[in-house]
């Protein structure tokens, strides 16, 4: 990796603050920003669009490997396209959230998306802040800085509820946040920091405090 590039990998459960803080870190450091979860969600939209039954593994694999996924790497501009269609808002809809783990559970789908994510990170000229579930351990274990953000269940539910503008009931919110974490934790460990991965509990921290804490960790890790 060229010495003038900086790659930061951030993992964590839903509502831990990884998306908002990763985006802000990319802004402050002049890096690209990659939301890897958006890629899984884009694929979910693709197979829903095609009328694919989530239980049809072969069809989900075909939809994943054949999907044309484009997404902004600019932290100040957020958009996602799949097969030429803008799905920026649709990837956050409940129907997408309900089936996105289907993609993650299939090894062939994960392998395809991991390869795409790695390629995008390698191609970022100045470097990138990438966030997801397995960036520190699978996608980019050789990142310059690897972080795992955690938070209490209460804090995570409150943050995601605010993010969604109160559109979901309490039971729907718990299902979207906690069920997906439970499903994904059977595939990859993102609740416990792997060797060499820095751990930051954000439960009682404000957004600005989380950003400052990460900036400090980055400075210490790269100095």
Binding residues for ATP: 12-20
**Helices 36-49/57-66 angle, 10° precision:** 120
By three-state DSSP, how is residue 160 classified? helix
Known binding-site positions: 12-20
C-alpha dist (Å) from residue 35 to 2, 58, 154, 168: 23, 26, 24, 23
- In DSSP notation, 178-200 reads IIHHHHHHTTS--SSPPTT-EEE
Spatial separation of the C-alpha atoms in residues 222 and 145, rounded to whole Å: 8
Task: Count the alpha carbons within 13 Å of 62 in the hemisphere toward its beta carbon.
Answer: 10
- Number of H helices and number of E strands within the chain? 10, 8
Looking at residue 122, the DSSP 8-state letter turns out to be H
């Amino acid at each position: 990796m060229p010495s003038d590039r900086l790659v930061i990998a951030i993992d964590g459960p839903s509502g831990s603050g990884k998306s908002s803080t990763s985006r802000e870190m990319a802004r402050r450091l002049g890096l690209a920003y990659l939301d890897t979860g958006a890629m899984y969600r884009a694929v979910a939209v693709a197979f829903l669009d095609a009328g694919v039954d989530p239980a049809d593994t072969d069809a989900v694999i075909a939809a994943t490997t054949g999907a044309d996924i484009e997404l902004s790497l600019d932290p100040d501009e957020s958009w996602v396209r799949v097969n030429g269609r803008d799905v920026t808002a649709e990837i956050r809809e409940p129907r997408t959230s309900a089936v996105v783990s289907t993609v993650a559970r299939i090894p062939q789908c994960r392998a395809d998306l991991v390869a795409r994510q790695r390629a995008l990170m390698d191609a970022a000229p100045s470097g990138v802040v990438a966030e997801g579930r397995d960036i520190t351990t699978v996608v980019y274990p050789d990142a310059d800085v690897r972080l795992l953000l955690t938070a209490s269940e209460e804090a995570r539910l409150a943050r995601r509820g605010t993010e969604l503008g109160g559109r979901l009931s309490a039971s729907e919110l718990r299902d979207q946040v906690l069920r997906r974490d439970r499903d994904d934790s059977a595939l990859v460990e993102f609740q416990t920091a792997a060797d060499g991965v820095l751990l930051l509990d954000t439960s009682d921290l404000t957004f600005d405090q989380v950003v400052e804490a990460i900036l400090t960790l980055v400075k210490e890790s790269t100095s």
